[in-house]
Amino acid sequence: MIKDNFETSIELVSKFTDEYLKSILDLEKKCFPEDWQYEDAGEYYGKMLKSERNINIFLRKKGEIVGYVLAKPFEEAVKELKELDPELENASGKYYIETIQILPEARGFGGAKKLIFAVCEEANKKGVIKFSIHARTTNRFSDKIKKMFEGKITEVRKIENWKPANGEPYEYLEWSY
């Protein structure tokens, strides 16, 4: 685990447990509006936790789980997202950040940044240096990612109507790390 001055740490999930799944489901309910949540969340996240190809990382604050990130091989994400984003082109050797969940009361301390960098570092251990995400623009999250990877962003595309977020504008971002 890596610690910082906000008493946060990251925890790489190395195997499935019911407790991890429960934590993710609790986070999703507290972090996202109901219509943004997966209908089959238990089944979906259970599958994501069991796949050795995925990167699952928790953010803990004072020992309690307050955040989570899921990254998966890009080619798997394209299968799910091609209909929503027809400009996606299948490619291997890249990770897609599927979701970042941070409890509202734990935001503002750099937790998302810590989780994203942890994903990048874990993927680097697997020989992967390219990443992508669909990021919100209304809360300026896409701007934060662009700042985090300034000079390393390789693609930015505006999506005016991102259906999984009820038509909110998003940006698709790619970078190297």
- Residue at 1 is within a domain: no
pLDDT in tens, 160-175: 999 999 999 999 999 9
- Residue at 2 is within a domain: no
Torsion of CA 23, 55, 52, 36, to 10 degrees: 50
Determine contact, residues 155/172, Cβ cutoff 8 Å: yes
- Residue at 112 is within a domain: yes
35 band by pLDDT with thresholds 50, 70 and 90: confident
- Residue at 3 is within a domain: no
- Residue at 45 is within a domain: yes
Give the CATH number, domain containing residue 24. 3.40.630.30
- Residue at 74 is within a domain: yes
pLDDT at 2 over 80: no
**Total domain count, the chain:** 1
Residue 102 sits in which domain range? 8-176
- Residue at 80 is within a domain: yes
Nearest one of 14, 106, 121 to 66, comparing CA atoms: 106
- Residue at 166 is within a domain: yes
Nearest one of 68, 91, 59 to 78, comparing CA atoms: 91
